[in-house]
C-alpha cells in the first residue's frame, strides 16, 4: 500500500510539471489555433534564467539563501514573458494568414534555435540549481516530500484556480474565448485581436516559467530538459488541445500513469505509456477528454 | 517562349512533358549525377548519397503531408522500421540487399496501417501528435525486442553486392540510390497526376466536401499513409546500406522534424520542392562550414568549439527566413526565376 | 574526326603527368617530410560534449608537449579534430572525411556510444592504425581488426571490480545488491559485469532496474529499489542520473552504499550528487586530477592550453592524453620511415607503456590488441565534494 501511495504522490509531482507545460500549449492553441512546439524550450530557457539569476546573487557562506527567491521567481517569470512576447511579435505575427504547417514549422525552427542558443550561452554540462527552497523533507503521512516538490503541487493548484478565474470571469479571458471562437466576429466587436495573441503568448510563457522553475528545483538544469515538453504532449491531448484546465488535469494523469507503469511494469514502459494512452483515447474521443468538438461547415 | 499546346495523340497527352528542352536538361542532370562517382571523393559521394536517400523519404512525406494534407511528425518511425528490416534480413537471414530493400518498404508500409487506422477520425494537430506518438513507440519496440533487433547496441548491415563489377561499396550504394530516386520521382509524378493524386488533393482541400463528391476518405487516407511509408521504408533500407550500421538513436523525433523542414523549405506539394529542399538542407551544414572556414578567428573558434550549435542556429534561421519570406519554398523561387527569364525583358 | 584527335591529346597529357607523379603519390598518407597527421572524431557538441571536449583538451595537450620536445623523429605532430555531435551517421561521414579528404595517417579517440561501432568498418577498410580509448566498447575488438587497438577495460569489468572491492574490503559480501542501469549498450555492459559478479562472488541480487537515457524523474525506480530492500546500489548511470536517483533514495530514507564507475567520478556528477550526502565509491583506470600524477598533468595543461580548455579537463582528458602519447610512441619506434604497417606492428608490440603515474601499465601485445589497465578505487566525501583514492592501481 505504501508502495502504491508513494508512486501516486511522486506521479502527481512530476505530473505537476507536465500539467504546467500542457497549460501553456493549451492557452496558445485556444487563442490562436496553433500548437507552439517551442513550449518545452521556453520552459528550458526559464530554467536556465532561474539558474543564472540564482547564481548571480551575491552568495552567503552556504550559497544563496531563500531571500534570493524574491529575485529569482519574479525575475524568471518576467524574463520568460518578455521573451515570449518578443518571439510572438517578431516571428509569429508576420505568419498570420499562412497555412498551419508553416506556423507550426516556425515554432519548431524557434525551438531548435532556442536550444542551440542556450548551449552556446551556458554550455553542455548539467548545472546545479542553488537550493533556495532548502532540501528539507516534509512528512505527509507515509510519504516524505522535498519542499520544492510540495511547492510544485501548490503552484499547480493555485495556477489552475487563477486560470479558471481568468477565463470565466475576467474580460481578458472572455476576449480570448471570443477570438478563439471566431476571429472576424471578435474583431467586429472591437476586440484587439493582436493584443489577444500577445496575451496568450505571455500567459503561455508564465506557465512555461513556472514549469521551468519547477524543473530547475526538482531536477537539474541541463540541455536535455526540453524533452519534458515532448512528454507533455500526451497530457495536452488527453485534456483536449484547447482546454487549459484539461491540460492541468491531463498532466497529473500522465504523471501518475507513468509512475505506475514504471513501478509495476518497469522495462521502460514508463516512457511510452502516455502515447499509448492517447492513441486509445483519441480513437474514442477524437478531440481529447475535454476538448471542444469542432463543427465544420461544408 | 512557348505558348499553347497542340496534342495529336493520347500518348502526347499522357507524357510528362512535351518540351524537348526540358527533357534535354533532365538528361544532362542525370548524366552529371551518373558521372559523379568518377569525379568526386568518397566524402562528397557520401553526401550525395545521403541527399538521394533522404530525397526519397521526403518525397514520401511530401505525398502524405503536402498533397494529402495529413501532417505527419512520425516519419522517422517508418525510416527506422525500414532500416532495421534491411539489417535483420541481411545479417540474420542472409537475404541479398535488393530483396531486403523491397521487404523494408513493405514492412514500413504495413506498419503505417497501425497509425493510419487510429488516425482516420483525427484532424490536424491531433493527427500530428498521434504520428509523433507512433514514432516514439516504434523506437521503444525496436529496443525492447532485443532478440530480433539486438536492442540498444544496434546492428551491423551486410554490404551491397557491387552493381557493376569493380565498383566499390560507396559508389554502388550511390548508383542504387540514384536509380531508385529516379524511379520514385517518376512514380510520384504519375501518382500526383492520376485519380489517386486528385483524390488526395481533394482530401487536403476539404475532406467533407470530397466525401460528398464520392471520394472514399478511408481508402485514400490509408493509401496515403501506406504509400508514403513505403517510400520511407526503402529510404531507411538505403540508409542502412550506406552507413552499414543501424541504431535506434539515429531515428529520433529530430529526424521527422528535419524531414518536415525539407518538405516545407522546398515547397509543399511539389516534387521539385522535395528534391530542392532535401539538397539544400542536407548540404547546408557543409556550405556553412565552407563559407565560414575562411573568416576571422572569432568565428573560427566559436565554430570549432560549438560547431553543432552554430549549425543548429543557422539551420533554424534559414527555415525561419524561408517561411517568412518565401512561403512557397525553393520550388516557388525556382518557378519565379524561370518565369522571370522566360518573360525577360518584359518581366516585372 | 579532328575532335577525337584533339580529345585524345587533351587526355594523354594529364595521364602522362599522373603516371610520372606515381612515385610521389606512393608515399604514406598523412606523412610528409616535416609533419604527421593524426585524426580524431569526438563528440564536441551534443549530449556528451563534456566528454568529447575533455578528451580534446587532453589530446591537444599531448600533441603540444610532443611538439615542444621536438616532435617525433624530427616531424611535428598535427592533430585534426572532427565533431560528430554523438550521431553515429555523422561519426561515419566525419571519419570518411578525415581518412579520404584530409588523408590522416592514423586515428585516435574515436567518439563514443554507437558511433564507435559505426566507424569500425571505415577504419578497417583503409587499414588505418586506430586507438579507441574514449568509450571502450566490446564491438571494437569483436571481430578482431588487425589495425584497431583499444585502451580501457569494458564497463562490465569496471562494475565487477567495484562490486568485488565492496564485497571483499568493505564487508558487503552478504548484503542485498541492486542495479540501476541505463537502457543502452553502455548500461547493458554494466549489467553484464553486475551479473557476472553476482554469479562468481555469490552475491544476493534483489533487483535490476533499467531506465531510459535522458530520464529526469527517478521516483518509480527508487521505489522499486526500496521495495526490493536494496542495501548496496550499483550504478550504470552517466551524470545527472546519479543525482536523480540519489535524491529520490534520500527522500525515501534509504541508507545505501553506492558504487559506480568513472562516470560517477566526473566533476559534473559530483557537483550534482554530493548534496544528497552519499559517500559513494567509484573506480577508474586513470588517476584522478587531484592525484600527484594528475596534478602534474594540470600544471602542464596550464602552460600549453587555453583557460577554457583547462576548465574542460577531467579524467577523459587523461584518456585523450594517453591515446596520443601511445600512438606517438609507436610512430617514434618506426624511425624515419613511417608506414601504416610499421606503426600497426609497433602498436601490437607495446608492452608496459608508462604513463607517468596516470594509469597502470598499458600493454597492447595480446591477441585482442586490448589494454585493460588495472583499476583504482576512489571514494567521494559528500560533505565537501572531495575525492580520496582508496587503493593503488590494481592493488585490490
Instruction: Identify the band that residue C278 occupies on the pLDDT scale cut at 50, 70 and 90.
Output: very high
Q: Which three cell numbers stand for residue C190?
A: 554494466
Query: Is C95 within a domain?
Result: yes
Nearest to A7 among C223, C243, C247 (CB): C223
Q: How far is A259 from chain C (nearest CA, A)?
A: 5
Touching subunits for chain C (3+ Cβ pairs under 8 A): A, B
Backbone torsions φ then ψ of A292, nearest 5 degrees: -80, 135
Beta carbons of C216 and A263 less than 8 Å apart: no
Touching subunits for chain A (3+ Cβ pairs under 8 A): B, C
A259: contact with C, CB 8 A cutoff: yes
The pLDDT of residue B124 is above 50: yes
Nearest to B305 among C44, C183, C187 (CB): C44
Query: Is C8 within a domain?
Result: no
Q: What is the DSSP string of B287-348?
A: HHHHHHHTS-HHHHHHHHHSHHHHHHHHHHHHHHHHHHH-TTHHHHHHHHHHHHHHHTTS--
Nearest to B43 among C44, C97, C121 (CB): C97
CA A219, CA A232: separation in Å to the nearest integer? 16
Out of B251, B266, B291, pick the residue that ends a domain: B251
Beta carbons of B243 and C83 less than 8 Å apart: no
Residue A182, CA distances (Å) to A165, A167, A186, B172, C174 in order: 22, 16, 6, 57, 70
- CA B320-B323-B329 angle, to 5 degrees, is 125
**Does C256 lie in the same domain as C166?**
yes
**Does B239 lie in the same domain as B262?**
no
Query: Is C21 within a domain?
Result: no
Q: What residues in C contact B249, CB-CB < 8 Å?
A: 87-88, 113-114
Domain of residue C122, CATH code: 3.40.50.2300
**Does B302 lie in the same domain as B202?**
no
Domains of chain A, residue spans: 2-230
Instruction: Identify the band that residue B164 occupies on the pLDDT scale cut at 50, 70 and 90.
Output: low
A116: contact with C, CB 8 A cutoff: no
User: How many alpha carbons lie under 13 Å from residue A191 in its C-beta half-sphere?
Assistant: 24
Q: Please, which residues 198-237 of chain C have a Cβ atom closer than 8 Å to chain A?
A: 209-212, 214-217, 219-221, 223-224, 227
CB C134 within 8 A of CB C320: yes
Q: Which three cell numbers stand for residue C379?
A: 571514494
Beta carbons of A275 and B312 less than 8 Å apart: no
Q: Where are the beta strands (DSSP E) in C135-238?
A: 148-151, 176-182, 204-211, 232-236
Beta carbons of A116 and B316 less than 8 Å apart: yes
Least confident of B8-22, B125-139, B269-283: B8-22
Q: At a CB cut-off of 8 Å and minimum separation 6, what does C164 contact?
A: C197, C201, C396
Instruction: Identify the band that residue C325 occupies on the pLDDT scale cut at 50, 70 and 90.
Output: very high
Q: What residues in A contact C220, CB-CB < 8 Å?
A: 7, 10, 258-263, 270
**Does B80 lie in the same domain as B47?**
yes
**Does B290 lie in the same domain as B193?**
no
The DSSP 8-state label assigned to residue C152 in this structure reads: S
**Does B247 lie in the same domain as B279?**
no
Q: Which three cell numbers stand for residue B162?
A: 557491387
User: Is the full-model pTM beyond 0.95?
Assistant: no
Beta carbons of B153 and C89 less than 8 Å apart: no
Beta carbons of A275 and B212 less than 8 Å apart: no
Reading chain A (298 residues) residue by residue, the pLDDT tens digits are 788 888 999 999 999 999 999 999 999 988 888 889 999 999 999 999 999 988 887 665 555 667 778 888 999 999 999 999 999 999 988 887 777 778 888 999 999 999 999 988 888 888 888 887 777 788 878 888 888 888 899 999 999 999 888 888 888 878 887 887 777 788 888 888 888 889 999 999 999 999 999 999 998 898 889 889 988 999 998 888 888 899 999 999 999 999 999 888 877 788 889 988 888 888 888 777 777 776 766 6
Instruction: Identify the band that residue C1 occupies on the pLDDT scale cut at 50, 70 and 90.
Output: very low
CA B152, CA C252: separation in Å to the nearest integer? 31
pLDDT tens readout for residues B168-221: 788 889 999 999 999 999 999 999 989 999 999 998 888 888 889 899 989 999
**Does C182 lie in the same domain as C225?**
yes
**Does B149 lie in the same domain as B225?**
yes
Query: Is B15 within a domain?
Result: no
Q: What is the DSSP string of A218-272?
A: HS-B-TTTTHHHHHHHHHHHHH-TT-HHHHHHHHHHHHHHHHHIIIII-TTHHHH
**Does C230 lie in the same domain as C102?**
no
**Does C148 lie in the same domain as C175?**
no
Domain count, chain C: 2
- What pLDDT shows up at residue C25? 44
- What pLDDT shows up at residue C20? 46
Q: How far is B11 from chain C (nearest CA, A)?
A: 38
Instruction: Identify the band that residue C260 occupies on the pLDDT scale cut at 50, 70 and 90.
Output: very high
Q: Among C91, C94, C97, pick the best mutation site for testing chain B contact (most B Cβ within 10 A).
A: C97
Query: Is B237 within a domain?
Result: yes
Q: What residues in B contact C184, CB-CB < 8 Å?
A: 152-153
Q: Where are the beta strands (DSSP E) in chain B?
A: 155-156, 245-246
Out of B231, B251, B271, pick the residue that ends a domain: B251
**Does C107 lie in the same domain as C49?**
yes
A135: contact with C, CB 8 A cutoff: yes
Q: What residues in C contact B153, CB-CB < 8 Å?
A: 114, 117, 139, 184-185, 188
Nearest to B122 among A34, A111, A286 (CB): A286
Q: What residues in C contact B156, CB-CB < 8 Å?
A: 117, 121
Beta carbons of C251 and A13 less than 8 Å apart: no
- In the predicted model, what is the mean pLDDT of chain C? 86
**Does B240 lie in the same domain as B119?**
yes
CA C218, CA C330: separation in Å to the nearest integer? 46
- Closest chain C residue to A146 measured between Cα atoms? C251
**Does B227 lie in the same domain as B318?**
no
- Closest chain A residue to B309 measured between Cα atoms? A116
Q: Which three cell numbers stand for residue C2?
A: 579532328
Question: Within 10 Å of residue A213's Cβ, how many Cβ atoms?
Answer: 30
Nearest to B308 among C45, C89, C97 (CB): C45
A86: contact with C, CB 8 A cutoff: no
What mean pLDDT is predicted for residues B74-92?
92
Bond from prior residue into B237 cis (ω within 30 degrees of 0): no
Q: Among B70, B119, B126, pick the best mutation site for testing chain A contact (most A Cβ within 10 A).
A: B126
A137: contact with C, CB 8 A cutoff: yes
- CA C105-C111-C114 angle, to 5 degrees, is 120
Out of B205, B222, B251, pick the residue that ends a domain: B251
CB C215 within 8 A of CB C268: no
Residue C10, CA distances (Å) to A198, B36, B133 in order: 68, 20, 60
Domain count, chain B: 2
Beta carbons of B261 and A101 less than 8 Å apart: no
**Does C382 lie in the same domain as C250?**
yes
The pLDDT of residue B158 is above 50: yes
Q: How far is A146 from chain B (nearest CA, A)?
A: 32
C11: contact with B, CB 8 A cutoff: no
**Does B294 lie in the same domain as B240?**
no
Q: How far is C82 from chain A (nearest CA, A)?
A: 18
**Does B238 lie in the same domain as B287?**
no
Query: Is B4 within a domain?
Result: no
User: How many alpha carbons lie under 13 Å from residue A6 in its C-beta half-sphere?
Assistant: 25
Q: What residues in A contact B262, CB-CB < 8 Å?
A: none
C85: contact with B, CB 8 A cutoff: yes
pLDDT tens readout for residues C294-320: 899 999 999 998 888 888 888 999 999
Is residue A105 classed as helix, strand or coil in its secondary structure?
A: helix
Beta carbons of A275 and B137 less than 8 Å apart: yes
Query: Is B84 within a domain?
Result: yes
Q: How far is B124 from chain C (nearest CA, A)?
A: 29
- Closest chain B residue to A241 measured between Cα atoms? B126
**Does B259 lie in the same domain as B243?**
no
Domain that holds residue B117: 23-251
Dihedral sign of CA atoms B91, B95, B96, B102 in order: negative
The DSSP 8-state label assigned to residue A170 in this structure reads: S
C113: contact with B, CB 8 A cutoff: yes
- Closest chain C residue to B49 measured between Cα atoms? C93
**Does C328 lie in the same domain as C221?**
no
pLDDT tens readout for residues C11-51: 544 545 444 444 444 568 888 888 899 999 998 877 788 88
Q: Among C50, C86, C188, C219, pick the best mutation site for testing chain A contact (most A Cβ within 10 A).
A: C219
Beta carbons of B123 and A294 less than 8 Å apart: yes
Domain that holds residue C181: 155-284+377-389
pLDDT tens readout for residues B14-46: 888 778 888 898 899 999 999 888 888 878 888
Q: What residues in B contact A34, CB-CB < 8 Å?
A: 125
**Does C39 lie in the same domain as C183?**
no
CA C273, CA C279: separation in Å to the nearest integer? 10
**Does B261 lie in the same domain as B298?**
yes
The pLDDT of residue B135 is above 50: yes
Amino acid at each position: 500500500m505504501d508502495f502504491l501511495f508513494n508512486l501516486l504522490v511522486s506521479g502527481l509531482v512530476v505530473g505537476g510539471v507536465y500539467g504546467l507545460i500542457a497549460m501553456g500549449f493549451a492557452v496558445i492553441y485556444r487563442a490562436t489555433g496553433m500548437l507552439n512546439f517551442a513550449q518545452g524550450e521556453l520552459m528550458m530557457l526559464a530554467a536556465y534564467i532561474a539558474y543564472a539569476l540564482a547564481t548571480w546573487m551575491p552568495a552567503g557562506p552556504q550559497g544563496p539563501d531563500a531571500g534570493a527567491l524574491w529575485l529569482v521567481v519574479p525575475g524568471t517569470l518576467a524574463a520568460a514573458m518578455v521573451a515570449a512576447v518578443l518571439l510572438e511579435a517578431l516571428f509569429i505575427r508576420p505568419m498570420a494568414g499562412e497555412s498551419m504547417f508553416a506556423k507550426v514549422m516556425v515554432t519548431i525552427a524557434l525551438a531548435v534555435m532556442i536550444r542551440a542558443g542556450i548551449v552556446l550561452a551556458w554550455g553542455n554540462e548539467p548545472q546545479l540549481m542553488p537550493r533556495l527552497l532548502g532540501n528539507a523533507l516534509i512528512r505527509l503521512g507515509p510519504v516524505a516530500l522535498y519542499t520544492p516538490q510540495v511547492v510544485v503541487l501548490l503552484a499547480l493548484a493555485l495556477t489552475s484556480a487563477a486560470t479558471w478565474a481568468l477565463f470565466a470571469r475576467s474580460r481578458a479571458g472572455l476576449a480570448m474565448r471570443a477570438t478563439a471562437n471566431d476571429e472576424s466576429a471578435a474583431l467586429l466587436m472591437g476586440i484587439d485581436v493582436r493584443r489577444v495573441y500577445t496575451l496568450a503568448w505571455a500567459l503561455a510563457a508564465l506557465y512555461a516559467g513556472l514549469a521551468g522553475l519547477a524543473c530547475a528545483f526538482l531536477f537539474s538544469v541541463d540541455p536535455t530538459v526540453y524533452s519534458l515538453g515532448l512528454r507533455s504532449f500526451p497530457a495536452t491531448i488527453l485534456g483536449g488541445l484547447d482546454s487549459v484546465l484539461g491540460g492541468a488535469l491531463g498532466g497529473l494523469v500522465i504523471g501518475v500513469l507513468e509512475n505506475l507503469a514504471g513501478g509495476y511494469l518497469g522495462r521502460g514502459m514508463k516512457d511510452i505509456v502516455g502515447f499509448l494512452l492517447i492513441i486509445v483515447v483519441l480513437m474514442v474521443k477524437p478531440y481529447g477528454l475535454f476538448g471542444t468538438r469542432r463543427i465544420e461547415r461544408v | 517562349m512557348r505558348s499553347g499546346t497542340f496534342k495529336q495523340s493520347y500518348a502526347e497527352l499522357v507524357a510528362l512533358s512535351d518540351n524537348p528542352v526540358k527533357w534535354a536538361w533532365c538528361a544532362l542532370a542525370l548524366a552529371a549525377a551518373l558521372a559523379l562517382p568518377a569525379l568526386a571523393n568518397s566524402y562528397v559521394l557520401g553526401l550525395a548519397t545521403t541527399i538521394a536517400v533522404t530525397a526519397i523519404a521526403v518525397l514520401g512525406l511530401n505525398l502524405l503531408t503536402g498533397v494529402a494534407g495529413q501532417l505527419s511528425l512520425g516519419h522517422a518511425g517508418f525510416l527506422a522500421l525500414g532500416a532495421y528490416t534491411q539489417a535483420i534480413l541481411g545479417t540474420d537471414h542472409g537475404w541479398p540487399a535488393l530483396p531486403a530493400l523491397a521487404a523494408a518498404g513493405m514492412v514500413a508500409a504495413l506498419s503505417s496501417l497501425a497509425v493510419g487506422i487510429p488516425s482516420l477520425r483525427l484532424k490536424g494537430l491531433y493527427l500530428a501528435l498521434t504520428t509523433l506518438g507512433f514514432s516514439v513507440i516504434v523506437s521503444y519496440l525496436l529496443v525492447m525486442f532485443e532478440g530480433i533487433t539486438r536492442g540498444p547496441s544496434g546492428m551491423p548491415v551486410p554490404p551491397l553486392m557491387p552493381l557493376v563489377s569493380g565498383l566499390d561499396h560507396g559508389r554502388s550504394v550511390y548508383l542504387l540510390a540514384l536509380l531508385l530516386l529516379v524511379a520514385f520521382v517518376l512514380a510520384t509524378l504519375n501518382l500526383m497526376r492520376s485519380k489517386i493524386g486528385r483524390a488526395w488533393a481533394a482530401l487536403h482541400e476539404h475532406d467533407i466536401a470530397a466525401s460528398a463528391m464520392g471520394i472514399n476518405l478511408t481508402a485514400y487516407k490509408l493509401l496515403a499513409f501506406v504509400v508514403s511509408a513505403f517510400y520511407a521504408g526503402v529510404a531507411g533500407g538505403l540508409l542502412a546500406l550506406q552507413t552499414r550500421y543501424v541504431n535506434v538513436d539515429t531515428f529520433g523525433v529530430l529526424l521527422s522534424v528535419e524531414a518536415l523542414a525539407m518538405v516545407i523549405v522546398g515547397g509543399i506539394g511539389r516534387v521539385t520542392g522535395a528534391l530542392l529542399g532535401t539538397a539544400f538542407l542536407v548540404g547546408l551544414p557543409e556550405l556553412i562550414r565552407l563559407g565560414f572556414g575562411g573568416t576571422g578567428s572569432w568565428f573560427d573558434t566559436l565554430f570549432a568549439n560549438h560547431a553543432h550549435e552554430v549549425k543548429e542556429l543557422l539551420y533554424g534561421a534559414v527555415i525561419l527566413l524561408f517561411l517568412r519570406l518565401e512561403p512557397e519554398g525553393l520550388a516557388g523561387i525556382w518557378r519565379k526565376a524561370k518565369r522571370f527569364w522566360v518573360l525577360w525583358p518584359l518581366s516585372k | 574526326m579532328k575532335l577525337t584527335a584533339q580529345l585524345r591529346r587533351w587526355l594523354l597529357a594529364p595521364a602522362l603527368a599522373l603516371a610520372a607523379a606515381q612515385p610521389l603519390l606512393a608515399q604514406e598518407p598523412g606523412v610528409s617530410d616535416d609533419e604527421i597527421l593524426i585524426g580524431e572524431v569526438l563528440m564536441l557538441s551534443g549530449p556528451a560534449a563534456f566528454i568529447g571536449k575533455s578528451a580534446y583538451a587532453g589530446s591537444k595537450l599531448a600533441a603540444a608537449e610532443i611538439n615542444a620536445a621536438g616532435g617525433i623523429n624530427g616531424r611535428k605532430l598535427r592533430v585534426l579534430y572532427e565533431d560528430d555531435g554523438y550521431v553515429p551517421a555523422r561519426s561515419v561521414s566525419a571519419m570518411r572525411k578525415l581518412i579520404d579528404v584530409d588523408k590522416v595517417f592514423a586515428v585516435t579517440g574515436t567518439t563514443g556510444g554507437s558511433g564507435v561501432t559505426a566507424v569500425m568498418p571505415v577504419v578497417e577498410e583503409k587499414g588505418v592504425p586506430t586507438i579507441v580509448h574514449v568509450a571502450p566498447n566490446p564491438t571494437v575488438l569483436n571481430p578482431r581488426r588487425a589495425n584497431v587497438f583499444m585502451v580501457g577495460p569494458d564497463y562490465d569489468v569496471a562494475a565487477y571490480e567495484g562490486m568485488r572491492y565492496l564485497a571483499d574490503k568493505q564487508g558487503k559480501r552478504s548484503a542485498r545488491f541492486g542495479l540501476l542501469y541505463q537502457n543502452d549498450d553502455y548500461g547493458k555492459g554494466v549489467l553484464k559485469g553486475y551479473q557476472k559478479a553476482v554469479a562468481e562472488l555469490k552475491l544476493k541480487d534483489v533487483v535490476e532496474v533499467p531506465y531510459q537515457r535522458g530520464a529526469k524523474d527517478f521516483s518509480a525506480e527508487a521505489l522499486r529499489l526500496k521495495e526490493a530492500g536494496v542495501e548496496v546500489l550499483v550504478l550504470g548511470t552517466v551524470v545527472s542520473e546519479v543525482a536523480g536517483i540519489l535524491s529520490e533514495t534520500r527522500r525515501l530514507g534509504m541508507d545505501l552504499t553506492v558504487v559506480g564507475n568513472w562516470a560517477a567520478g566526473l566533476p559534473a556528477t559530483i557537483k550534482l550528487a554530493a548534496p544528497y550526502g552519499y559517500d559513494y565509491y567509484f573506480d577508474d583506470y586513470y588517476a584522478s586530477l587531484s592525484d600527484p600524477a594528475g596534478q602534474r598533468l594540470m600544471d602542464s595543461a596550464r602552460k600549453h592550453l587555453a583557460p577554457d580548455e583547462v576548465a574542460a579537463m577531467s579524467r577523459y582528458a587523461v584518456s585523450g592524453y594517453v591515446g596520443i602519447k601511445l600512438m606517438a610512441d609507436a610512430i617514434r619506434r618506426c624511425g624515419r620511415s613511417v608506414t601504416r604497417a610499421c606503426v600497426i606492428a609497433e602498436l601490437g608490440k607495446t608492452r608496459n607503456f608508462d604513463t607517468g603515474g596516470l594509469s597502470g601499465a598499458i600493454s597492447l601485445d595480446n591477441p585482442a590488441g586490448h589494454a585493460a589497465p588495472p583499476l583504482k578505487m576512489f571514494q567521494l566525501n559528500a560533505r565537501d565534494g572531495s575525492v580520496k583514492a582508496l587503493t593503488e592501481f590494481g592493488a585490490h
